[in-house]
Chain A
Amino acid sequence: GDSVVQTEGQVLPSEGDSLIVNCSYETTQYPSLFWYVQYPGEGPQLHLKAMKANDKGRNKGFEAMYRKETTSFHLEKDSVQESDSAVYFCALPGSRSSASKIIFGSGTRLSIRP
């Protein structure tokens, strides 16, 4: 079935460092891909999305390229800020017969050191 695997656990860059959070997906449908962000005490919120292969999602300096050949959707940023600290989830919709269901990765906690 459809699945998402992302960088596990916590990432601890310093402010100003570049960032890559890996996401690999498995699907037979090639749907949209998402990154959600979750701040403490809040529900996840959509961070960026790419609708189809070779699209690039962008938001607040973050980018993610939908790559079909490598089945990846890595989240990247050139220079992280302390305010970027949060948990990030890679996600994709379920199968066409269950497009209502969003499948989430286990999350990557991003903690920016000042």
Chain B
Amino acid sequence: DTGVSQDPRHKITKRGQNVTFRCDPISEHNRLYWYRQTLGQGPEFLTYFQNEAQLEKSRLLSDRFSAERPKGSFSTLEIQRTEQGDSAMYLCASSSPVDGNTIYFGEGSWLTVV
């Protein structure tokens, strides 16, 4: 499978705990994105990387959220001190240098904070 891969697919955590999600983009895609989606809504942009550089962050990305892409390949999204409002699906996507406007999503990582 050469699509965008995310891990874990589901995570249940207690409020206050830290969680980390991993994303492996399509190979040779230089751009990587993180989005958040809640039930009944469209995906909302969080941040994006071009290679290893984080070029944009949404105001939705509070100080408790941090994303990295250290070698320009896979990326991690960490949420510290989780809150119930963080419960959502976290989607990773990637795009190629040829067509940066067409992005390809992974299957998402569901987070439930209890």
Contacts and interface: CB of A to CB of B under 8 A. Distances in A.
Interface in A88-114: 89, 91, 93-94, 98-107
Interface stretch (A13-21, A41-49, A63-71, A74-82): A41-49
A37 to B, nearest CB: 11
Contacts of B33: 100
Interface in B1-16: 4
B28 interface: no
Interface string B39-52: 01111110010100
A45 B101 CA distance: 13
Interface of A: 31-32, 34, 41-46, 49, 89, 91, 93-94, 98-107
Interface of B: 4, 31, 33, 40-45, 48, 50, 55-56, 58, 91, 93, 100-108
19 contacts: A32-B101, A42-B108, A43-B4, A43-B91, A43-B93, A43-B106, A43-B108, A44-B43, A89-B42, A100-B48, A100-B55, A100-B56, A101-B56, A102-B43, A102-B101, A106-B40, A106-B41, A107-B40, A107-B41
